[in-house]
Structures are given as structure tokens and as C-alpha cells.
Chain A
Amino acid sequence: MILIIAIGIALMLIGFWGALIRKNMIRIVLSIGIAETGLQLLMIGVGYLKGRTAPILDSAVPFSQALQRVVDPVPQALVLTAIVIGVAVNALMLTFIIRLYEKKKTLTISDYRDLKW
């Protein structure tokens, strides 16, 4: 699981790096998306317990053994929520970019400096 956490952290750093150096607004949003994915991996990694299965109660995991057999369900629930929210925000950002593009016909972030000081 250390590997997953490490990948998660690496993805986050890559995402931040991309958000800081890419000039194209869509790429910045995608970078943020990558960072969020890294975070989600990390969250799952933190909640993982070695040798256990997904916290889904079905025929494979009887109710009586659930506590011994599954990983911590809370981080998983958190990740699901985080994914949904992340998707919503990213989608909204992309719509804003579309609107902005319609007005100014450019995607370069440094072209949008009307508000300053």
C-alpha cells in the first residue's frame, strides 16, 4: 500500500506542477484533476488494511464477518464523495473556460489579466 500512497503523492505533485507551469487553461484544469486523482489514491491507501477486501456486503462477505474481512469503509465513502465533488467542480471550471473562450478566443491563461491590483 505504500506504493499506492507514493503514487498518490507523486500524482498530486505532478498535478500541482502542471497547474503552476502549463499556460493552457484546460491543461491547468486537467492538472488539478490529476492532483485530485492522486489525493483519492492516497485516501484509499490510507484506509487500506492488508489482506482485506472491499467493504461491500454480499455473498463473498457475510455480515457476521464483515468487521474482520473488509477494509475501513469510511475512506472509501469519503473518496466517493470527493470524486463526485471533484467532477462537479472540474466540469464547472471547463464550462467557465468555454464561456471565456467564446468571449476572447484564447485559452492562454496569461491573456486574462483584466482584473488586477
Chain B
Amino acid sequence: MVTPLYIIAVALGIAFLLPLLEKAGRWVVQTVFFLTLTFFVGVSLQWSVGFLTHTVTTAQIFTAGFQPPISINLQMGPLEAVLTLAVNVLALLGGMYLVHHLQRIGLQGFVLFLLLTLGMNGLILTRDVFNLFVFIEITSIATYAVIGMDLNTDALLAGFKYMLAGSIASIFLLLGIIFLYSLTGTLNIDGMIAAISNSASASLPVITIALFSLLFSFMIEMKQYPANGWALDVYQSAHPGIAGMISAGTSGAMMYALYKLMPLFSPTWALVLAGLGLTTFVLSNLMAIPQKHTTRMLGYSSIGQMGLLLTVMGIGTALSVSEAVLLPILGALFFNHFFAKAGLYWLAGVVNRSTTDDWRVLRGHTGYQILLGIFLLALLGFPPFAGFFGKWNFIMLLAEQGQFIWIGFILLGSLLEAVYLLRWFGTAVRGEPATHHPLETPWLANVTLTLLATAVVAIGAIFIDRTFSNTGLLILPFAAAAVLILINRLPNVLRGSTAIAALILMAYWMLPSQQGLSLFFNIIFLGGGILILLASFGYPKVHSGFYALVVLMIGAMAWLTRAANVLQFFFAWEVMTASSYLLILQGKQARTAAYTYVLFSLAGAFVLLAGFATAHMLSPHSIGWDILANASTLPGVFLLVALGLLVKVAAIGVHLWAPGAYAEAPDNATPLLSAVLSKAGILGFVFALLKMGTVVTGAVSLNYLLGWVGVLTALLATLFAVFQEDAKKLLAYSSVGQVGYIVLGIALMSHLGWAAALWHSLNHMLFKGLLFLAIAGVIYRTGTRQMYQMGGLIKQMPVSFVSVLIGIIALSGIPPLTGFGGKWLLYEALMEKGWYFQTAVAFFASTIAFLYCFRLIHTIFLGQPKPALKHVKEAPVGFLIPQAVLIGIILFYSMRPDKLLQPISAILSPYFAPTLRWENLTVHSSLGYWNGTWFMIIVGIIFVLVTLWAFFITPRPQKVKPFNIVFAGERPERPESTHYAYQFFKPYERAFAPVLKPYAIRFWHAVSEWTTSTALALRTLYTGNAQTYLMHIFILGMMLFLILKGL
């Protein structure tokens, strides 16, 4: 093993040698520079591998042949090895990334860079507080100088502010060190810890002052609120390459230095630290929201992440959490942020646009978009990245300790972080096309960015591997997605077949081992996914990445059905959220819609997570589904879980995301979202309610409330659907309403209610898939989503017409098709339960549904054909095949409802006593009976008779010419207003006006306004005046001192 002392020695030696080598030529300098950095990586890699294979043990390196306290000692343990490895890898990549910048600075640049690297390594290795001070100063001075080398006013100014803050921090650090030395007689950290914890003098005021000074100094260096204005300026104006090094490397090394000192502080002090960290985390992320300047926004995020890490460290010490629990959390959050944030800064350097709005230039640069996506999703703690596991484990740790308020604020801060980071991502991927200044794409920077992304993914993989035992099945969707991205250039048919083959493979592996409810839902997910994906063959060209995202989304949903515990469920849930978000974002105009979708989904997911955490608090030794069983003792569990899931099913009030997401998603993705994805929330309800049962708090049954939410969703969404001009929005609201019925059925908690819910889940998948596919075909041919721009298409698109006809009959719940079965079961269940008023509302809602069903088919297919659409052809056969299959299934189940209802009954019998009885093909409930087969036959006969009769009474139908409308000499300003189908149901809209007021939109709009204006008000704290920043530092010191002294 090469002793790490050589890192320090070689760095110093080479730094002094470089000026001499300059004579030999620039390339010699650079070669030596990179060789040195590679050597550092080699040393730390050697130690890391040694610790991993257990061939080395923690080494103490003593200087000058003495033992502490006489000598300064370095320690190379597993943590140090991994951290120096990370820092040195970052330095090597940073050197590559910055090489042109360093060349411009000249020789000093390379020297300073080496010193910076040396400082970071020293900070990690040293076990001596004074040595720590020296390394902090080496790191800082090198950083100041590198920043100052830029010679632009902003960078100089930021550097000056940094130095002022750094000087104050140094003064307090030295103050702390000297007092601690005078009290303990040693500078060795371990010696100090031993002396402080053993001595009776621990309560002396001098010790308090000493420890306070030390702590205060670190709080400045770690950029805690409000003493962090200088850091924002540095992140904003330093070269992004340097900013990345500071945000990841320097801050990280500083954090580890504090980690070493943590045992000096009492648990109450640690709790104060955690509180300060959390305040920083939440407030920085809040203040970042109105920020438009890319690197300053990233600065807020960096500061926030430091706050989060400090919170974890503080909580760990305060609650004396064992290292075995704490280190994985810290490690996941730390390394995830380390590489992702460096990547973001460096990417910002390549894109080189100051405001986030200008990141529109990334349109067309798919590679950069993917990199940005990886870094951002990792930073936000989406799976499969390590941040997910860090946050999950930390929240569960807090739950075990009953620290619920902390969980709330951590989730709040994380959500706020998503608000601005994903807005930025949306602009970069789907912004308005900009006036194009071509982006420079330096290959060396591209290589470093790719390596960083690889590191982020690899760290995630490590955590997946150590968290889940059976990773084989877990990998399949990711592997399939990766393959699909690789074969992106191949013809559509090949890509589509590969995607379908992957889904079939999943079905082959998963379905045979599943039963009951899991199997039922997995058939909906995988079966529906495969069927609808068939339609993509109809498109000549499909978005790159479409298939990968679909396979990932459907795969995640398939995992949901297999989730053995809440962790697996939440993991799959978040993969599903991320992939569906990216899928929606593929729509051309989808920026706002996808943004709304992902924010609502994330908020819902966090509420769900809070629910799981609350349940975990009640049973701290398990994360299995059983933890939900205790929900009756704590209704909060039910409320949080239900609320989180309600967001996913777009219940009324939190439905805002649904119309936009369904409408703006690519036309081939919408059927998947509506038919398949919307059932994920239902699956969540099924799993959760099976465990939680009926929860009564006070006098109110929460299931009763849930039922009302379901029925009101059905009513209001149906009303909204009636007044849409956009065919996809109409169907979107319709989906929301239909899922409302399913929630109502689930809330009943009875055999019949659940049978209705399951029946309707499958049925909705079938007919809504059918409708969206048919409409996608129409939109594909006509090029518009506005229904009044269509009309009379029955002649040109007869097959699509039949599809829509079958679809709306199945939807509206009239005999003979499957919809009737669902409605029959639901009403029976409602009346059986005695929920008469809900029955009335549900019945009313499904009557209103006729209005939009009629409008859909009438406006698009009947009436006068538009001259512009004269030459429209039937939808491509690729669209029609899956429609035919769906129609076939609907007709089959309509003929033989027993084939569906009997299995559903059987699935439910372990949970609810069956109340359905069969006599041949007739099903009897307590209230009545129904024979679907006879229904079908009778209705079929009536249909034939009526058709024949209509045929005979009108022997000679007369054709009406298009546009017989007379404008009476006036040319209308808005021609669509003369179209009979425009504002078709306007009178009803007036009648319903009071109900239809956009209360929910106004509410969420106000939430967003308030958040932004609070952020705007808060951030005026950072006036830009260096002296004000100094003041903030002293205010922080004063407050910390008062709080700590008071404890």
C-alpha cells in the first residue's frame, strides 16, 4: 500500500516542480499534472479496494516518527479511502474538464488546482485539528485564487466576499482550537474527544465557548442560513468548473471534517445543528424558486443539500444512531449529490447560457438532455439513483424515532427543490425553439460529463444491490429500456417489437407466480400495455426514447403488483412517476402539462411516503404491508396514504394535472396513461385498504369520506368533460370521472363494491384504451384535437366510428356492453350499503356522461364533413388492430360476463364474504339479478329490428350539402363560432356555472403565487453587499450562541 502521505508530498512537490517544467513545454506540464492526479486516484483506489477485500486495516500515519499528541497524524480508514477516491476522481475529471480554462490562466492555474486537490485530501485524512485548520486554509486560498484568476468583476467580487467569510471562519476556528488545546492538552481529534468526554470539566463555560467557536466556524464554511450569501455569489460567478469542484469537493471534504468532530458535541447541540441544517435546506430551496440564473439556482440547491447532510449528521449524533445505520444514509445522499451536482455545474459550463430560459438551446441535443435528466432526477432522489435510498432510509429512521415534524420539513424541502429544478428541465427539453447560436460541444467535457453520469448511475446500482435481494426481475425493465435506447436508430417496427417482446417476457416471468389481486392488476398493466403498444406500429416515426420509457413505466407498474413491502412499492411508484413524466414531456407542447403532472405526482408520492413513515412509526421493526394494519389506532396513516393515492387517481381538487397531461402527452402515450397508468392509484388503494380496513375517527368513517371524494370526482369531472372542445381533454376528464367511480366502489369495503371496482378497472382499461386509440387515429389523420374542426368523418373513417361507438356504449353503462355490468354492480353495492344519496349522485353523473359521449361521436363522425377534411383516410391499420382486439374482448365479456365476474368474485372471497350467487348465466345479488348473455341477445334483436325499420321508412334519404349556413352578408370574426358543434352544450354550462367555477385551479394558483412571493421576499436578505453578508454571519453566530448557551 502506498501511504497516503505521498498524496500530500507529491502534490506539494509537483506544485513546486511545475514552474521548472514550464521551460520544457506546455505539454510536459500538462502530462505531469494529469499523471499526478491519476496517481492520487491510484493511491486512494488501492486503499479502497484493500478495504473492500478486507486485505488492509485502518492505518494511522504518524509524522516525524512520533506518536500523537506530539506528532500530527493522518488516518486512512475505509471512509477516508472512499472519500479521497471520490475527491480524487472528481479532481481528475475536473482537471480534464477545466484544462482549457487552466491553460488560459497559465501555469498558476495548474499549481492552484493541485493545491486545491491537496487541501481536500488533507481535510479528509487528518486527525489533528490544527492540521485541519491548515488544510482548510490551503483549500480556501487555492479556491480564492482560482476564482480570482478569472479577472471578471463578478468573480473577483464573489471571491472577495468568500475571503471575508473565510477569514471570520478561520478566526473562530483558531479560537476554538486554542481553547480546546488549553483544556485538553492535545490537538489530536481522538485525544480531544476522549478528554472532553472523560473530564468533569465538560460543563465549563470555556468549553462551551471553545466548542461554540469551532461549530460556528464550520457553520460558516458549510454555508448555513443566513450566513451564506457569499456562497451564492461564488456559485453564480465562479467558472462553473470551479463552482462544481467547490460544491462537491470542498464542501464534501469540509463536511467530513465536521463529521470527525461531531463526537465533541453533545446530543442537544447536535439537534440544534440538525435544525439549522433543515432550516437551510427548506429556505434555500424555497428561495431558489424565483431564481432564473442557472448557476445561482444551482448554488441555492448546493447550499440546501449541505443543509440536508448536516441534518442527517446532526440527527445521527443527537439520537445516537449507530454508524451502520447512519453511514449508508449519509453515503447515499453525499455521493449522489457529489457527482450529480458536479455534473450539473459542468453541464452549465458547456451550455454556457446564463438564464435557465436560455436552456432552450438544448432542443435537439438529446445527449445533453439525457445527461441533464440523469443528474436532476438523481439530485431529486428519484429511483434508481442513490438519493432515493438516502431519503427513504433517513425518513424511516426519523419515523422509528417518532420525529414526525422533521419528516414533514424534509419532504417539503425536497418538493420545493423539484419545483425549480424540474421547471428548468422542462425548459431545456421542451422550451420554445430559440434563435440558434450553435452549442459548442467540447469532446473532453462530454467525456467527463458522461463519466460523472456513469458514476451517478453506478452508485445507484450499488444501493439497489444492497437494498433488494432479488434484483433479477428488477433489472429487466431497466435493461430493456437501455437496449431500446441503444437501438434507437433502427426502424420503428423493430423497436416496437423489442418493446412488446420485453413486456411479454415480463409477463412470462411474473404472471405464473402471481395470484389474486396482484395477478388481476398485473394482467391489466402488462396486457393493456402490450395491446396499446401495438398501435405504435401505425406511426411511421415514434419519438426516440418512447419505447424505453413505456417499457420502464409498465415494468414499474408490474413491480407494484409484486411489491412485498412498502419500500418496494414506493421504489416502483417513483420509477413509474419519473418514467411517465418523461413520457408526457415528449409531447410537443407538453412542457407546462408535464411540469404540473410531475409536481402533483411528487407531492402525492411524498404524502404517501409520509403515510408509510407514520405507519412505520407504529411498528418500527417492519416495512412490510402489515404496518398499515395498525392504521385504526392512528387515522393519520389512512388520511396520508389515501391523500397520496388520490393525487394519482386525480380526485377532485387534486385533478389539475390530469387534463393537461392526458391531452398534451404524445397521442400514442395518452391511451397508456389513461387506460393503464390511472389504475396504479387504484392498485395502491386495494393494497392499502386490504390492510387498513375501515377506519373510523370520532364519529366519521374515513371510508365514507373517501366514498364521497370518489362520487364527487365522478360528478364534477363528468361535468367538466361535457364542456371541452378538445377531444383528448374530453376523454381525460372522462377518465378522471370513471376512476372516481372505481374509488367509490373501493371505499365501500364490501364484496359487491370491490367487485364493481375491479370490474370497472378492467372495463375502463378496455374502453378507454379503445377510445383514446380511435381518437389518436382521428387526430393522426386530421391533425387537430378540436372537435369542431372535424365532422362527418363516418364515411372516411368507418372503423374508427365503430370503435368509438362501442367505446361510448361500454363507457356510458347502458346494456348490453360491459359498462352496464360495472354500473349494475356499483349501484347494487351502494344500495346494499345504504349509501342512497351517493347512489343518486353517481346515477346523475353517469347520465351526464351521455352528453359528452354523444358529443364525441356526433361532432367527430356525424354531421357535415369539412371540405378541408374531404381526403382524410381511415386510420392506419396499426391503430386498428389493437382496437379490434379491444372490441373483441369487450364483446366477449359482454356476452359472457360470468367469465369475468366469477374470477373477480373468487379473487375477493378471501377478503369479503361473497354476496353474489350464480344460476347458470344469471347472477343474483341480494337486490336483484342480471343475465348478461340474454341481455346481449335481446338488445341485438332490438337493434336489428330498429335498423331495418329505419331503413324501410326512409327509402330515399336526401343528402344535405355542406355549408348551407348563410352569414347574411357578415363575415364572422371567429368562423368556428358558427359551427354547430362549437360550444355544443353552452346552455348547460350556464346552468352549471356556480359548480364549474375553477375553485381548485384558483386554490393551487394562489399556493404557487404565495410560494413565489414568500421566496421573493425572503431572498431580499441577500442584498449583494459584502458587509451585510458579514452581518449575517455575526447574526448567525449570536443566535447559535444564545441557543446553545441556553441549552
Contacts and interface: CB of A to CB of B under 8 A. Distances in A.
A110 B178 CA distance: 35
Contact of A88 (B130, B141, B1023): B141
Given A75-B178, A96-B159, A112 B1026 contact: yes
Contact of B233 (A12, A32, A96, A115): A115
A113 B1024 contact: yes
B1034 A20 contact: yes
A115 B166 contact: no
Interface stretch (A36-44, A50-58, A60-68): A36-44
Interface string B994-1037: 00000000000000000000000001101111110011001000
Interface size class of A (residues with CB under 8 A): 35 or more
B362 interface: no
Contacts of B194: none
Contacts of B141: 85, 88-89, 92
B154 A115 contact: yes
B167 A32 contact: yes
B175 interface: yes
A93 interface: yes
A96 B148 contact: yes
Interface string B514-555: 000000000000000000000000000000000000000000
Interface stretch (B179-187, B374-382, B608-616): B179-187
B841 interface: no
Nearest to A112: B157
A109 interface: yes
Interface in A63-117: 74-75, 78, 81-82, 85-86, 88-90, 92-93, 95-97, 99-100, 103-104, 109-110, 112-117
Given A74-B181, A100-B153, A117-B1022, A89 B137 contact: yes
Contact of B154 (A16, A97, A114): A114
Contacts of B166: 89
B1014 to A, nearest CB: 14
A42 B175 contact: yes
B174 A39 contact: yes
Given A20-B1034, A88-B141, A104-B153, A28 B171 contact: no
Question: Which residue, B153, B154, B179, B232, has most C-beta atoms of chain A within 10 A?
Answer: B153
Contacts of A100: 153, 156-157, 160
A12 B167 CA distance: 12
Contacts of B1025: 109-110, 112-113
A7 B134 CA distance: 26
B164 A117 contact: no
Given A74-B187, A95-B148, A114 B1023 contact: no
Question: Which residue, A96, A99, A117, has most C-beta atoms of chain B within 10 A?
Answer: A117
Contacts of A96: 144, 148, 156, 159-160, 163
Given A20-B1027, A20-B1034, A109-B1025, A115 B137 contact: no
B167 A89 contact: yes
A116 B1026 CA distance: 10
Interface in B122-173: 130, 133-134, 137, 140-141, 144-145, 148, 151, 153-154, 156-160, 163-164, 166-168, 170-171
Interface in B229-243: 232-233, 236-237
B177 interface: yes
Contact of A35 (B157, B171, B1024): B171
Contacts of B160: 25, 93, 96-97, 100, 112
Contacts of A115: 154, 157-158, 232-233, 236-237, 1024
A16 B172 CA distance: 12
A115 B234 CA distance: 9
A28 B160 CA distance: 11
A32 B145 CA distance: 19
A36 B171 contact: yes
Contacts of A97: 160
Contact of A36 (B133, B167, B233): B167
A112 B1027 CA distance: 10
Contact of A92 (B148, B154, B1020): B148
Contacts of B175: 39, 42
Contacts of B170: 85-86, 89
A81 B291 CA distance: 41
A25 B159 CA distance: 13
Interface residues of B, number: 48
A90 B164 CA distance: 9
Contacts, number: 127
Interface string B672-713: 000000000000000000000000000000000000000000
B116 to A, nearest CB: 14
A116 B1022 contact: yes
Interface string A10-38: 00100010011001010010001001100
A20 B232 CA distance: 20
A39 B163 contact: no
Contacts of A103: 153, 156
A46 B179 contact: yes
Nearest to A111: B1025
B154 A20 contact: no
Given A35-B171, A85-B170, A114 B157 contact: yes
Contacts of B1022: 116-117
B525 to A, nearest CB: 47
A16 B153 CA distance: 26
Contacts of A12: 171
Contact of A81 (B130, B158, B164, B1031): B130
A92 B237 CA distance: 18
A82 B174 contact: yes
Contacts of A35: 171
A115 to B, nearest CB: 4
A113 B1023 contact: yes
Contacts of B182: 46-47, 75
A90 B167 CA distance: 9
A29 to B, nearest CB: 8
A78 B163 CA distance: 21
Nearest to B148: A96
Nearest to B136: A85
Contacts of A28: 164, 1026-1027
Nearest to A15: B171
A89 B236 CA distance: 22
Contacts of A86: 167, 170
Contacts of B178: 42-43, 46-47, 75, 78
Contacts of B1034: 16, 20
Interface in B806-864: none
Contacts of B157: 100, 112, 114-115
A20 to B, nearest CB: 6
Given A43-B178, A96-B159, A116 B171 contact: no
Contacts of B1030: 19-20
A90 to B, nearest CB: 8
Contacts of A92: 141, 144-145, 148, 163
Given A39-B171, A100-B160, A115-B233, A109 B1027 contact: yes
B137 A110 contact: no
Interface string B234-275: 001100000000000000000000000000000000000000
B179 to A, nearest CB: 7
B174 A43 contact: yes
Nearest to A110: B1025
A86 to B, nearest CB: 8
13 contacts: A19-B164, A20-B1031, A25-B160, A32-B167, A74-B187, A89-B170, A92-B145, A96-B144, A96-B159, A96-B163, A113-B1024, A114-B153, A116-B1023
Interface of A: 12, 16, 19-20, 23, 25, 28, 32, 35-36, 39, 42-43, 46-47, 74-75, 78, 81-82, 85-86, 88-90, 92-93, 95-97, 99-100, 103-104, 109-110, 112-117
Q: What 6 A-B pairs are tightest by C-beta distance, nearest first?
A: A116-B1024, A113-B1024, A115-B233, A96-B160, A43-B178, A85-B137
